[in-house]
Structure 1
Amino acid sequence: ASGIHCADYGDVSIEKPRSKERVGAAPNVKEAFFLFRTAKGQSAFEFLLIVAFLTLVFVSLFSLVNSRLADETQGRVEATAADIAGLVVDQVVLAAGLNDGYSSTFTIPEVINGQSYSLDLVDGREVVVVYKDYEHVVFLPANVTGNVTFGENAIGKRDGRVHINS
């Protein structure tokens, strides 16, 4: 360091900055550990640990609740599709178990909970319901002739076969 004598201020020393120091740089490891030795530094560190832990707990709980909610919603979609397929299957089982000459009607709704869906009778052996991107397939216990439509459907048994809308 070099010194200068000033009439107004007296002796003033001017120091060169050390080459390793940078203006605005983060404290080095020694300085960081020194902060923990002070009461304020330790309190600040503990506060940050508590905030980090509580944030981790909150994010974990939020994730868990969101996962459970998604599972519950998917379960309701699957149950609704199964119920719609069950309407057709129950009628086919009833008609197949009765004698020739049986006839009845049943209604298939066009929308469920405000959502449209598709319902198909494939090869007279399976009912396929697609509701909210979920496909539910049920195999029928008897061959069925005809097709299922939205609205009212006529079902009957003739010549030992179950007929829907035919």
Structure 2
Amino acid sequence: MNQLKTNPKSQSAMEFVLLATFMLMVMLGFFAVTSSRFLEAKEEGNKKVAEDIANFAYREIEIAKSVNDGYIRAFSMPQTVNGINYTISVIDNKEIVVDYLGNEYVKFLPANVTGNIAKGSNKVTKSNGIVFVN
């Protein structure tokens, strides 16, 4: 009977190719998971920025709500955050909505608040128990 002989060098080459392919797949998987985590962290950071913008405006309104009539205070909202444009608005005198890089954050306002918040200079006043913004 004629025995089939395999060349040990060709077997080593085949094992090397299989091992190299496996290691490449492991590295690609690692990079895919790492980049996914990085994008998630960046997205969470952008959501936090939108939340911080809304909370800044909300705190000004909350302070006015908690003090006596006759309160007047000027405050300024930044034109951009980290060099990036955003939008801020008050909807139906019930909620502050901030949109930053496609991340929308909504903060509900207390009762008896009227007006709108804009980038730049704003003024909050309280008269007859009602808080007026800008």
TM-score clears 0.5: yes
Q: Among 101, 117, 138, which residue is 2:107 paired with? A: 138
Instruction: Encode CA deviations 1:85-116: one digit per residue, 9 max, x unaligned.
Output: 01111111111111111111111011111111
Instruction: Encode CA deviations 1:125-146: one digit per residue, 9 max, x unaligned.
Output: 1000011111111111233211
Map 1:21-60 → 2, pairs under 5 A? 37-60=6-29
Q: What residue number does 1:21 align with?
A: none
Q: What residue number does 1:85 align with?
A: 54
Map 1:63-78 → 2, pairs under 5 A? 63-78=32-47
Aligned residues of 1:117 and 1:129 also touching (Cα < 8 A): yes
Amino acid at match of 2:17: L
Higher relative contact order (CA 8 A, sep 6+): 2
Q: Among 68, 73, 78, which residue is 1:104 paired with? A: 73
Distance in structure 2 (CA, Å) of the matches to 1:78 and 1:53? 38
TM-score (norm 1): 0.75
- How many residue pairs get aligned? The number is 131
Identity %, equivalent residues: 37
Q: What residue number does 2:97 align with?
A: 128
Aligned residues of 1:92 and 1:142 also touching (Cα < 8 A): no
SS of 1:111's equivalent?
coil
Aligned residues of 1:142 and 1:162 also touching (Cα < 8 A): no
SS of 1:60's equivalent?
helix
TM-score (norm 2): 0.93
Structure 1 gaps of 5+ residues are 1-33
